[in-house]
Structure 1
Amino acid sequence: MKARNPSTPPRAIGRKPGVRVLLPALLAPLLVTLGGCASGPNRNTADPLEPLNRSTWRFNEAIDRNFARPVARGYTRVVPRPIRTGVENFFSNLGDFPVMFNDFAQLRIMDGMNDLMRIAVNTSFGLLGVLDIATPAGIPKRDQDFGLTLGHYGVPSGPYLVLPLFGPSTFRDAAGFGVDQFAEPVSYTDPAWRNSLWGLNFVSTRARYLNATNLLEQAALDRYLFVRDAYLGRRRSQLDEGKEAPLPDYGKEK
């Protein structure tokens, strides 16, 4: 599963998948109504809902500071690095399913076959993806999602949107995020297993980006603006035929 935001807690437990995954898209019109009066002549045109988004950002920051970050630190102290790497690889393998779906949806047939080969190799020979066999074998990992698929076919991104608990997004990406969950194998497992796997994936992802949080706190005078501009810039770059510059691996230990 592609990690979306280091501050993002696990998804709500106990709701039916169809409602849960489409909730961000269903909330978008309501947020437009609530935030319409927040726009002004000097407002960033990509972020007309900035006051509302900043409030949501502060809420997410409080959840991350008081819950997510302490849990992630405890996880890194207790779990040995080789096991953490295996957990990351396992969820990365599951995340290749929606990547494959979106490559085929964009008619990138060769890229989709590449994704299928990665899944087959890592699932078969990598102990369900715990070991990443495909990358050393020369089968690269790609990054796609349904938000990019919509953008590929000309759907505009719409305003920047900070989702409660889910983090940075846009109207288009919020809708795409819901669709991507239908391609995630975890969504179809028994609820007890599904919720446990979501929780483990959240902790693993948050632990990986602990160093990114430290860097952000040191480098950004306004963290909200830094994350917003970085997110929007990267999404624009990803739409440029996937020729985005790779992000640094903040989880890499020296």
Structure 2
Amino acid sequence: MTLPKPNRALNWRVSAAALVAIATLSGCATNNPRDPLEPFNRTVFKFNDAIDQAALKPAATAYKKVVPSFMQTGVNNFFGNLSDVWTGANNLMQGKGEQGMSDWTRVALNSTFGIGGLFDIASEAGLKKHNEDFGQTLGYWGVPSGPYLMLPLLGPSTVRDTSGLPVDMAANGWSYVDPSSTRNIGTALRVIDGRANILDASNLMEEAALDRYEFIRDGFLQRRQGQVFDGESSRKALKASKDEPADAKSIRAAYADDDAAPAATATAPAPTPAVAPAPTPAVAPAVSSETPSK
């Protein structure tokens, strides 16, 4: 018995695109510490936006109008159930054993009682859904994010996350589905469903008088920082760095500083007067109520 082969052609194309983007670093540098490759990234953004406006957005609009909402929910649940397998593995690699086992319990429940993942029974049972990938795992263990990077067709990323893409793609269970026609149809459906989920938000953004490139970049970097540290890093990131996205080490250093201050305050002995004043009967109850019992 032979296992179906992953979509190696797609993996190769994505990896090649990432390498081409990284190889362009030296020719596109700017003074923006968060986005030193801005000229190149803006060019790729325009390319991606043209494809989105010409094909992806119309397809997502039609999908949202024609396909019943319960079917859209089923598609989203099905692919979300597949992603929970890799999410659980990444949580375990980050040392989050409880979350990792919770993710794999979700897969077991949704794959059985949820009819192959079409229904999210696990969330109704109180098992929270997480979203983790290998880029987040690298960031958790101290790998800096590196420059912001706009990838052809794939969209916003960073150098760190781009380096983790081959691992994420190899761990994608759908890439092993045979025949290839089923795999390709499912991949297209997954992309269109994902685009439909953000259709309303993207329409509002397009109507606003904003630099959409900067809006997407800043939102992505902030969201990604929060994902790496489970939403706890926004204040720490601002403290660690005013100009650049904080890496794991600087964030943890900020945590150490904040954690040390309350501890020092709590352990500092209270000053003891040389001569304790005799309690006055009128105020003795008030004094005794404020003195902690031994």
2:225 pairs with one of 222, 230, 236: 236
- For residue 27 of structure 1, what is the aligned residue in structure 2? 20
Is 1:161–1:170's contact at 8 Å kept on the other side of the alignment?
A: yes
In structure 1, distance between residues paired with 2:70 and 2:130:
23
Q: Quickly say closer, same or farther: Cα 1:216–1:52, change in 2 above 3 A.
A: same
1:156 pairs with one of 128, 144, 168: 144
In structure 2, distance between residues paired with 1:118 and 1:71:
31
Taking the TM superposition and a 5 Å limit, the aligned residue runs for 1:58-137 are 58-137=46-125
Equivalent pairs counted in the alignment come to: 228
- Which has more radius of gyration? 2
Percentage identity across paired residues of the two chains: 46
- For residue 172 of structure 2, what is the aligned residue in structure 1? 184
In structure 2, distance between residues paired with 1:23 and 1:112:
31
Q: Quickly say closer, same or farther: Cα 1:177–1:14, change in 2 above 3 A.
A: closer
- For residue 212 of structure 2, what is the aligned residue in structure 1? 223
2:184 pairs with one of 195, 201, 213: 195
One-letter amino acid of the structure 2 residue matched with residue 87 of structure 1: V
Is 2:28–2:36's contact at 8 Å kept on the other side of the alignment?
A: yes
2:196 pairs with one of 188, 191, 207: 207
Q: Quickly say closer, same or farther: Cα 1:244–1:143, change in 2 above 3 A.
A: farther
One-letter amino acid of the structure 2 residue matched with residue 197 of structure 1: G
One-letter amino acid of the structure 2 residue matched with residue 162 of structure 1: M
Q: In structure 1, the residue corresponding to 2:122 is in which secondary structure? A: coil
If asked which structure has higher relative contact order (CA below 8 Å, sep 6+), I would say: 1
CA deviations on 1:29-83 (whole Å, 9 max, x unpaired) are 4122xxx23324xx31111110110010000000000100111111112111111
Using structure 1 for the length normalisation, give the TM-score: 0.84
Q: In structure 2, the residue corresponding to 1:138 is in which secondary structure? A: coil
Q: Quickly say closer, same or farther: Cα 1:62–1:17, change in 2 above 3 A.
A: closer
In structure 2, distance between residues paired with 1:213 and 1:149:
28
Matched, 1:37 2:30: no
CA deviations on 1:103-122 (whole Å, 9 max, x unpaired) are 11112111110000000000
In structure 2, distance between residues paired with 1:74 and 1:200:
12
In structure 1, distance between residues paired with 2:197 and 2:97:
31
In structure 1, distance between residues paired with 2:29 and 2:21:
16
The CA deviation at 1:218 is 3.0
Q: In structure 2, the residue corresponding to 1:162 is in which secondary structure? A: strand
Shifted more, 95-104 versus 112-121: the winner is 95-104
In structure 1, distance between residues paired with 2:128 and 2:91:
14
- Runs of 4+ off more than 6 Å: none
One-letter amino acid of the structure 2 residue matched with residue 123 of structure 1: S
Using structure 2 for the length normalisation, give the TM-score: 0.73
Shifted more, 68-77 versus 22-31: the winner is 22-31
The CA deviation at 1:239 is 2.2
CA RMSD of aligned residues (A): 2.0
Q: Quickly say closer, same or farther: Cα 1:116–1:242, change in 2 above 3 A.
A: farther
The CA deviation at 1:16 is 3.1
Q: In structure 1, the residue corresponding to 2:54 is in which secondary structure? A: helix
In structure 2, distance between residues paired with 1:225 and 1:196:
33
Structure 2: runs of 5 or more not aligned: 1-5, 235-294
Q: In structure 2, the residue corresponding to 1:135 is in which secondary structure? A: helix
Q: Quickly say closer, same or farther: Cα 1:162–1:141, change in 2 above 3 A.
A: same
Shifted more, 20-29 versus 133-142: the winner is 20-29
